[in-house]
Chains A and B, each alone.
Chain A
Amino acid sequence: MYLLPIFLPLISFFIFVLLSNFVNRKILIYFSTFIIFLSTFISFLLIKDVINNNETFEFYLFDWLLSGKLISNWTINLDFLTSVMIVIVNIISALVQFYSIGYMKDDPSIARFFCYLNLFSFFMLILVCSGNLLQLYFGWEGVGLCSYLLIGFWFYKESASNAALKAFIVNRVGDMFFILGIILIYLTFNSINFTNIFSNFSSYEGIKYNFLFFEFDALDIICLFLILGAMGKSAQLGLHTWLPDAMEGPSPVSALIHAATMVTAGVFLICKMSIFFNNSIFASNFIILIGSLTAIFAATVAITQNDIKKIIAYSTCSQLGFMFIAAGFSMYNLAIFHLVTHAFFKSLLFLGAGSVIKALDHEQNIKKMGKLWKKLPLTYFVMIIGSLALSGIPYFSGYYSKELIVNSGLSSNLFFAKYVYSISVIVVLLTSIYSFRLIYYVFHGSLNLSKLKYIKAKEPSIYFLLPLVLLGLFSIFSGYFFKDFFINEKYAQLWITSNVINISNFDLHHKISLINYIPSVFAFFGIILIFYFYFFKQNVILFFKKKFSSFYQFLFNKWYFDDFYNRIIVKNIIKLSENLWKKIDIDLIDKLGPDGLASSTKNISKFFSNLQTGYIYHYVFSFIIGMALLISFVIFFL
Chain B
Amino acid sequence: MTNIPILSLLIFFPFIGSLIILLINKNDQSYERKVKEIGLWVSITNFLLSLILLYSFDKTESQFQFIENFKLINDLGIYYYLGIDGISLSFILLTTLLVPICIITSWNKISKNISYFVASFLIIECFLIGVFSSLDLFIFYIFFEGSLIPLFLIIGIWGGSNRVYASYKFFLFTIFGSLLMLLGILTLYFYSGTSQLTLLINTNIPFILQIWLFLSFFASFAIKIPMWPFHTWLPDAHVEAPTAGSVILAGVILKLGGYGFLRFSLPLFPEASEFFAPFIFILSLIAIIYISLVALAQTNIKKLIAYSSVAHMGFVTIGIFSRNLEGLQGSVFQMISHGLISAALFLSAGFLIDRMKTKNIDNFGGLWNQMPIFSVFFMVYCLGAISFPGTTGFIGEFLILLGAFKINFLISFIAAFGVILSACYVLWLYNRVCFGNNNFKGISDLNTQDMLVFLIFLLLIVILGIYPNFLISFYELSTNMLIVN
Q: Are B388 and A172 neighbours in the complex by a CB distance under 8 Å?
A: no
User: Which residues 129-161 of A sit at the B interface, judged by CB distance below 8 A?
Assistant: 134, 137-138, 141-142, 145, 148, 152, 155-158, 160-161
Cβ of A158 to closest chain B Cβ, rounded Å: 7
Is B246 an interface residue when CB atoms closer than 8 A count as contact? no
Q: Is the contact region of chain B dominated by helix, strand, or loop, or is it mixed?
A: helix
Query: For residue A210, which residues in chain B have a CB less than 8 angstroms away from its CB?
Result: 409
Is B277 an interface residue when CB atoms closer than 8 A count as contact? no
Residue picked from B296, B410, B435, most chain A C-beta under 10 Å: B435
Q: Are B290 and A638 neighbours in the complex by a CB distance under 8 Å?
A: no
Is B149 an interface residue when CB atoms closer than 8 A count as contact? yes
Q: Are A176 and B420 neighbours in the complex by a CB distance under 8 Å?
A: yes
Is A58 an interface residue when CB atoms closer than 8 A count as contact? no
Q: How far is the CA of A172 from the CA of B388 in the complex (A)?
A: 10
Q: Are B437 and A156 neighbours in the complex by a CB distance under 8 Å?
A: yes
Q: Are A637 and B190 neighbours in the complex by a CB distance under 8 Å?
A: yes
Q: Are B431 and A638 neighbours in the complex by a CB distance under 8 Å?
A: no
- Among A179, A629, A634, which residue has its beta carbon within 8 angstroms of that of B419? A179
B contacts with A, residue count (CB < 8 A): 75
Cβ of B367 to closest chain A Cβ, rounded Å: 10
Query: For residue A585, which residues in chain B have a CB less than 8 angstroms away from its CB?
Result: 232, 294
Is A27 an interface residue when CB atoms closer than 8 A count as contact? no
Is B360 an interface residue when CB atoms closer than 8 A count as contact? no
With contacts A594-B172, A630-B182 taken as known, whether A176 is within 8 angstroms of B416 at the C-beta atoms is yes
Interface locus among A59-67, A285-293, A493-501 = A59-67
Is B173 an interface residue when CB atoms closer than 8 A count as contact? yes
Cβ of A141 to closest chain B Cβ, rounded Å: 5
Residue picked from A67, A168, A598, most chain B C-beta under 10 Å: A67
Is A206 an interface residue when CB atoms closer than 8 A count as contact? no
The residue of chain B having its C-beta at the shortest distance from the C-beta of A61 within the complex is: B466
Interface locus among B17-25, B262-270, B394-402 = B394-402
Interface locus among B80-88, B127-135, B421-429 = B421-429
Classify chain A: how many residues form its interface, as a range: 35 or more
Is A619 an interface residue when CB atoms closer than 8 A count as contact? yes
Q: How far is the CA of A633 from the CA of B406 in the complex (A)?
A: 44
Interface digits, A610-638 against B, CB 8 Å rule (1 contact, 0 not)? 00000110111011001001100110011
Query: For residue B171, which residues in chain A have a CB less than 8 angstroms away from its CB?
Result: 615, 618-619, 622
Cβ of B464 to closest chain A Cβ, rounded Å: 11
- Among B169, B190, B423, B468, which residue has its beta carbon within 8 angstroms of that of A168? B423
Is B186 an interface residue when CB atoms closer than 8 A count as contact? yes
Q: How far is the CA of A172 from the CA of B423 in the complex (A)?
A: 7
Query: For residue A145, which residues in chain B have a CB less than 8 angstroms away from its CB?
Result: 383, 388
Is B389 an interface residue when CB atoms closer than 8 A count as contact? yes
With contacts A176-B416, A594-B168, A619-B152 taken as known, whether A67 is within 8 angstroms of B326 at the C-beta atoms is yes
Is A173 an interface residue when CB atoms closer than 8 A count as contact? yes
Is B243 an interface residue when CB atoms closer than 8 A count as contact? no
Query: For residue A209, which residues in chain B have a CB less than 8 angstroms away from its CB?
Result: 409
Is A187 an interface residue when CB atoms closer than 8 A count as contact? yes
Q: Are A619 and B175 neighbours in the complex by a CB distance under 8 Å?
A: yes
Is A165 an interface residue when CB atoms closer than 8 A count as contact? yes
Query: For residue A618, which residues in chain B have a CB less than 8 angstroms away from its CB?
Result: 168, 171
Query: For residue B325, which residues in chain A have a CB less than 8 angstroms away from its CB?
Result: 67-68
Q: Are A183 and B420 neighbours in the complex by a CB distance under 8 Å?
A: no
Q: How far is the CA of A623 from the CA of B146 in the complex (A)?
A: 9
Interface digits, B137-178 against A, CB 8 Å rule (1 contact, 0 not)? 010010001001100110010000000100111011101101
Interface digits, A577-604 against B, CB 8 Å rule (1 contact, 0 not)? 1101110111001100111011001000
Q: Are A574 and B296 neighbours in the complex by a CB distance under 8 Å?
A: yes
Q: Are B293 and A577 neighbours in the complex by a CB distance under 8 Å?
A: yes
Q: Are B412 and A597 neighbours in the complex by a CB distance under 8 Å?
A: no
- Among B148, B401, B427, B434, which residue has its beta carbon within 8 angstroms of that of A180? B401
Is A414 an interface residue when CB atoms closer than 8 A count as contact? no
Is A211 an interface residue when CB atoms closer than 8 A count as contact? yes
The residue of chain B having its C-beta at the shortest distance from the C-beta of A630 within the complex is: B182
Q: Are B167 and A615 neighbours in the complex by a CB distance under 8 Å?
A: yes
Is B478 an interface residue when CB atoms closer than 8 A count as contact? no
Q: How far is the CA of A64 from the CA of B138 in the complex (A)?
A: 40
Is B417 an interface residue when CB atoms closer than 8 A count as contact? yes
- Among A64, A212, A629, which residue has its beta carbon within 8 angstroms of that of B466? A64
Is B281 an interface residue when CB atoms closer than 8 A count as contact? no
The residue of chain A having its C-beta at the shortest distance from the C-beta of B367 within the complex is: A155
Q: Are B172 and A598 neighbours in the complex by a CB distance under 8 Å?
A: yes
Cβ of A108 to closest chain B Cβ, rounded Å: 10
Q: Are A211 and B409 neighbours in the complex by a CB distance under 8 Å?
A: yes
Task: Give me 23 A-to-B residue pairs in the complex whose CB atoms sit less than 8 angstroms apart, sorted by A's number.
Answer: A63-B467, A63-B469, A65-B469, A67-B326, A67-B329, A74-B466, A142-B390, A155-B368, A160-B435, A161-B431, A162-B431, A172-B423, A180-B416, A577-B294, A577-B296, A580-B290, A581-B293, A594-B168, A595-B169, A601-B172, A615-B164, A619-B171, A629-B179
Residues on A facing B (Cβ under 8 Å)? 62-68, 70, 74, 134, 137-138, 141-142, 145, 148, 152, 155-158, 160-162, 164-165, 168-169, 172-173, 175-176, 179-180, 183-184, 186-187, 209-212, 573-574, 576-578, 580-582, 584-586, 589-590, 593-595, 597-598, 601, 615-616, 618-620, 622-623, 626, 629-630, 633-634, 637-638
Given contacts A156-B437, A619-B148, A626-B175, 16 further A-B contacts (CB under 8 A): A65-B398, A65-B399, A65-B472, A68-B325, A70-B399, A172-B419, A180-B412, A574-B297, A581-B294, A594-B232, A597-B176, A623-B145, A623-B149, A630-B182, A630-B186, A634-B76
Residues on B facing A (Cβ under 8 Å)? 75-76, 138, 141, 145, 148-149, 152-153, 156, 164, 167-169, 171-173, 175-176, 178-179, 182, 186, 190, 229-230, 232-233, 290, 293-298, 325-326, 329-330, 366, 368-369, 383, 388-390, 395, 398-399, 401-402, 405-406, 409-410, 412-413, 416-417, 419-420, 423-424, 427-428, 431, 434-437, 466-469, 472
